[in-house]
């Protein structure tokens, strides 16, 4: 009789299984939040890996470009040196004259100039060939798997200990360093020998004109004058382009990019540090939009700030795993969970209190 009366005095709408369902929903929601945190951490790790791969891909492309550029540079000078040496040797072997027909000083100058041209051109050609073989042999060692693994480890360490203002790591070994240390001086020496052989070759033709046309001095004089003009023009061109090819200005490093006054945003401002989103004044037309647009802008600003804080390796972005950005992204969800938990506890306590009161009243009435 007491059980029936207690059941009759139970307030309407109070389901004993409601609390279990709400508790299960709360646990499911908490598990979902934990999964989202784990997914976010895995996404951050994947972004770090993608950024490191982007920088490594950029490094490999630059290495291939530099190797092809240097190889073409060496090939062009080597081919020209071989052409000059072959022309000098051919003219020497096929040139016939009599000792009684020319002055011995002219013949001596012809022989000395021929020897200089052949020696300088052959040495320049041989040196360019050896440097080119060394370049092709060493180029693949800068982009091998071991170098990629070492760079990935450095990039991961940089992401874990990032501080604002630090620059992303770069590969320790590069083709540009190898060229500067081992090949640049030899390449300049080969270029100097080729540049010296060309005017000597023109002088050799001048001596040959006096030997060939010893009985026609007018022709020899005209040829000598024209070849002299050619030597002067070669000197002018050499002085104009020498500094860009083998002079001090050939070692100019890449200049820093100028900082724009109005940043355009990612990915164009990868060289700039992350900046806080600008606030729109309430009096402006942009500030008078609807509440939905304002909420969308706030959510997009939080997402962009989180992405800027996590994406970065120079060559691409200055990436930093920012704790403040992560908290700014998670705090709204945590506040919602806390509010739901408080409401759940309040409703549970109120329901238990009502059940206790009704049970006591039922016992008293019985």
Q: Hey, is 317 helix, strand or coil?
A: strand
pLDDT over 60 (residue 247): yes
Phi-psi region of 315 (alpha: psi -120 to 50; beta: other; left: phi over 0): left
Q: Which residue has the higher pLDDT, 230 or 153?
A: 230
Least confident of 16-20, 85-89, 130-134: 16-20
**What are 264-285's pLDDT values in tens digits?**
554 444 545 555 544 444 444 4
CA separation (Å) from 300 to 295, 306, 329? 9, 10, 11
**What are 104-140's pLDDT values in tens digits?**
888 889 999 999 999 999 999 999 999 999 999 998 8
Least confident of 77-91, 133-147, 228-242, 338-352: 338-352
Measured distance CA(183)–CA(176) in Å, rounded: 10
CA separation (Å) from 365 to 1, 12, 30, 136, 359? 12, 19, 44, 102, 10
Tokens of 242: 């020498």
Q: How many residues does the chain have?
A: 366
* Whole-number pLDDT of residue 248: 63
Least confident of 74-83, 178-187, 259-268: 259-268
What mean pLDDT is predicted for residues 63-81?
A: 93
Q: Which residue has the higher pLDDT, 323 or 84?
A: 84
287 class by beta-carbon count within 10 Å (0-12 exposed, 13-18 middle, 19+ buried): exposed
Least confident of 114-128, 231-245, 248-262, 312-326: 312-326
Tokens of 163: 């501080």
């Amino acid at each position: 009789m007491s059980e029936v009366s207690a059941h009759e005095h139970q307030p309407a709408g109070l389901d004993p299984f409601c609390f279990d369902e709400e508790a299960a929903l709360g646990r499911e929601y908490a598990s979902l939040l934990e999964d989202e945190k784990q997914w976010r951490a895995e996404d951050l790790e994947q972004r770090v890996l993608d950024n490191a791969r982007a920088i490594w891909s950029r490094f490999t492309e630059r290495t291939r470009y530099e190797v092809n550029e240097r190889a073409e540079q060496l090939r062009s000078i080597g081919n020209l040196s071989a052409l000059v040496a072959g022309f000098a040797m051919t003219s020497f072997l096929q040139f016939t004259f009599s000792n009684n027909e020319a002055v011995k000083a002219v013949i001596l100058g012809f022989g000395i100039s021929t020897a200089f041209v052949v020696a300088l051109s052959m040495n320049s050609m041989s040196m360019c060939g050896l440097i080119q073989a060394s370049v092709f042999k060493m180029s693949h060692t800068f982009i091998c798997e071991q170098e990629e693994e070492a760079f990935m480890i450095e990039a991961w360490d940089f992401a874990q200990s990032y501080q604002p203002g630090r620059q992303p790591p770069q590969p320790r070994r590069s083709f540009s360093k190898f060229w500067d240390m081992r090949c640049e001086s030899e390449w300049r020496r080969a270029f100097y020998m080729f540049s010296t052989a060309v005017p000597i070759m023109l002088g050799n033709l001048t001596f040959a004109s006096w030997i060939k046309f010893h009985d026609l001095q007018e022709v020899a004089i005209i040829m000598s004058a024209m070849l002299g003009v050619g030597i002067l023009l070669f000197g002018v061109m050499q002085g104009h382009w020498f500094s860009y090819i083998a002079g001090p200005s050939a070692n100019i490093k890449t200049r820093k990019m100028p900082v724009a006054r109005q940043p355009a945003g990612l990915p164009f401002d990868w060289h700039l540090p992350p900046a806080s989103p600008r606030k729109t004044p309430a009096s402006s037309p942009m500030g008078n939009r609807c509440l939905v647009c304002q909420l969308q802008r706030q959510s997009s600003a939080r997402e962009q700030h989180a992405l800027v804080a996590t994406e970065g390796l120079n060559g691409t972005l200055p990436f930093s795993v920012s704790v403040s950005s992560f908290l700014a992204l998670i705090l709204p969800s945590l506040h919602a969970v806390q509010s739901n938990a408080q409401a759940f506890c309040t409703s549970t306590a109120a329901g238990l209190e009502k059940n206790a009161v009704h049970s006591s009243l039922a016992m008293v009435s019985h």
